[in-house]
Amino acid sequence: MESVLRLHQLHKAYAEFVLDHIDLEVPGGYVTGLIGPNGAGKTTTIKLIMNLIRADSGGVEVFGLKHDRHEIQIKDRVGYVGEEQFFYEQRSAAWTGNFVSHFFSAWDPDAFDHYLDRFELPPKKRIKKYSKGMKVKLSLAIALSHAPELIILDEPTSGLDPVVRREVIDLLHRAAAEENKTVLISSHITDDIERIADYIVYMVQGRIAIYASKDELLSSWKTIHFKQDSVPASVLESLEHVETQMFGSTGITRDFPVIEGDLTEGISSGSIRVESVGLDDILIALVNGD
């Protein structure tokens, strides 16, 4: 599987935060979700990928190219939406599209007009009168209108209402599925990531805690509900964050395929119950487990 993006021992230190020598390869043609609590290092990582800040050490390769020699070529092939949107507020969306068109070799004005229409963005209205959601959609329209091979988004749906969030996420999903584009999207809203991602990267305290396919994660992590003295020692050893209540105990495991056979008898007798987890459950377990 060819990697579109590679990070090698990427390191960036601030007074109160360190991105700690991370390695990552993002496969082409898939959606990779970058999940973590606020302050985990998601935005720092994306800014380093986009060369908006400089690493203390380590390297970034996009399409096999490095920013020190090929920054213009790289950014010509990347659609980027940051965590904040900056525009000439007194100008219109139509003016903005014409302005940014000079920076991209494959700018498609018809595609841009299509996205403005699809997102119900008035082309002649001054951007200062746009809502936050409208500005996000304008950023996305710009990012998608120059045939990008890699789309990078940093918390694009944060603060948006559920209808707009769903619209944006569905559009990204179709772009990856139908147009073979690669998407890297960061968010602490795990529902958005779970809806479209093929691969998941968990970041906690400046490090990559887990990198795996979404299907692998959701099949390996399970919540186990059990009555006292009803589970073998092998199962108990695999459980994390066990909580005991009046009618039984609950824990989470990341090794369900390994212990599944040991659960059969308890499941049959009703003393053990297994539940699927969501990506947010895994994040909480990782954060609480330090």
Summarize pLDDT for 178-212 with one digit per residue, the tens.
778 899 999 878 888 998 999 999 999 999 999 99
What is the model's pLDDT at position 165?
A: 82
- Answer yes or no: do 135 and 95 share one domain: yes
Domain boundary among 217, 240, 262: 217
- Answer yes or no: do 29 and 120 share one domain: yes
- Answer yes or no: do 179 and 236 share one domain: no
- Answer yes or no: do 164 and 69 share one domain: yes
Question: Model confidence at 290, in pLDDT bands (50, 70, 90)?
Answer: low
Flag whether pLDDT at 289 surpasses 80: no
Q: What is the mean pLDDT of the chain?
A: 91
- Answer yes or no: do 31 and 70 share one domain: yes
- Answer yes or no: do 163 and 258 share one domain: no
Distance between CA 10 and CA 205 in Å, rounded?
14
- Answer yes or no: do 199 and 101 share one domain: yes
Please give the residue range of the domain that contains residue 106: 3-217
Q: How many domains does the chain have?
A: 2
What is the model's pLDDT at position 270?
A: 87
Tell me the residue length of the chain.
290
Flag whether pLDDT at 96 surpasses 90: yes
- Answer yes or no: do 225 and 206 share one domain: no
> Number of helices and strands (H, E) in the chain?
11, 13
Domain boundary among 217, 232, 260: 217
Q: What is the 3-state secondary structure (H, E, C) of 79-122?
A: EEECCCCCCCCCCEHHHHHHHHHHHCCCCCHHHHHHHHHHCCCC
Q: What is the pLDDT of residues 119-134, one digit of tens each?
A: 899 999 999 999 888 8
- Answer yes or no: do 229 and 276 share one domain: yes
Domain boundary among 189, 217, 245: 217
Least confident of 14-18, 225-229, 259-263: 225-229
Taking the model in full, what pTM does it have?
0.91
Q: What is the pLDDT of residues 154-167, one digit of tens each?
A: 988 776 778 878 88
- Answer yes or no: do 58 and 121 share one domain: yes
| CA 194, 196, 198, 202 torsion-angle sign | negative
